[in-house]
Chain A
Amino acid sequence: GAGVSQSPSNKVTEKGKDVELRCDPISGHTALYWYRQSLGQGLEFLIYFQGNSAPDKSGLPSDRFSAERTGGSVSTLTIQRTQQEDSAVYLCASSLVSEQYFGPGTRLTVT
């Protein structure tokens, strides 16, 4: 079946602009995670959605970052007023129980 998809695959934006990153999880998966990975670094947890529960936003680095998940499926990560330090690969993962399956990521470059 279809895996996790993310769009766009690459995004170049100017400092100060807003960006939206999209994640389509595997159908039926109730949990969805967003991570950030800078070059050569580990996964940085951003936010976690589980079913209809309130999301765990404890990893969001600043109030410029927000995410929503509509209808328990597609999720959008929004970064407002982008900064150069936001440049990274943004990864989305979904799971049904506990095994996470990752999308291909969105490479964000802020110039």
Chain B
Amino acid sequence: QKEVEQNSGPLSVPEGAIASLNCTYSDRGSQSFFWYRQYSGKSPELIMSIYSNGDKEDGRFTAQLNKASQYVSLLIRDSQPSDSATYLCAVNVYMNRDDKIIFGKGTRLHILP
């Protein structure tokens, strides 16, 4: 069973601090990794994708990938109350000759004003 694991939270972070969200995955063949943000009552929104080991920065967001440890993380710098949401990690897996995306259950992030 190919899985994506996330701590469900809630993760509470003071405003202005760095929020660190973590995700582990089971399929060593995975090549594509994504972070989605989902506000309450809304659909998930893609915020970051990463394909190579190392860091990828986009504004206040940094995705970090370590394929050897099967670990991907999302750092949010200078956290804002508007960052309060559920963050979903998604990973591609190969099943039955198909490339398919599977999601973790998400981590709820709460930024404390």
- Which of B56-64, B77-85, B88-96 forms contacts with chain A? B88-96
What is the CA–CA distance of A45 and B106 in the complex, to the nearest angstrom? 14
**Do A42 and B105 touch across chains, with their CB atoms under 8 A apart?**
yes
Contact B99 A42 (CB under 8 A): no
Question: Bound complex: CA of A101 vs CA of B44, how far in Å?
Answer: 8
Q: Is the interface of B mostly helix, strand, loop or mixed?
A: strand
Instruction: Give complex CA distance A42, B34 in Å.
Output: 16
Given A42-B106, A43-B44, A105-B43, A99-B98 contact (CB < 8 Å):
no
CB of A27 within 8 Å of the partner chain: no
B44 and A102 within 8 A (CB): yes
Check A100/B43 contact, CB under 8 A, given A42-B106, A56-B96: no
Q: How many Å lie between the Cα of A56 and that of B100 in the bound state? A: 9
Q: How far, in angstroms, from A53 to B97 measured CA to CA in the complex?
A: 10
Q: Which residue of B lies closest to A101 (CB)?
A: B46
Q: Which of B43, B104, B106 contacts A104 (CB 8 A)?
A: B43
Total residues of chain A contacting the partner, CB 8 A: 20
Q: Is A46 an interface residue (CB 8 A)?
A: no
A33 at the interface (CB under 8 A from B): yes
**Nearest chain A residue, comparing its CB with the CB of B8:** A42
Q: Does A34 contact B (CB under 8 A)?
A: no
The verdict on B71 contacting chain A, using a C-beta distance below 8 Å, is no
Determine if A99 and B103 form an interchain contact, defined as CB atoms under 8 angstroms apart.
no
- Chain B nearest CB from A62 CB (Å) reads 20
B residues in contact with A45, CB < 8 Å: 102-103
- Return B54 CB to nearest CB of chain A, in Å: 19
Query: Once the chains bind, are A43 and B103 in contact (CB under 8 Å)?
Result: yes
* A73 in the interface (beta carbon within 8 A): no
- Say whether B43 contacts A91, CB under 8 Å: yes
B45 contacts the other chain (CB 8 A): yes
The interface centre, meaning the residue of B88, B96, B100, B102 with most chain A CB atoms within 10 A of its CB, is B100
Say yes or no: A56-B103 contact (C-beta < 8 A), given A43-B44, A103-B43: no
The distance from the CB of A31 to the nearest CB of chain B, in whole angstroms, is 9
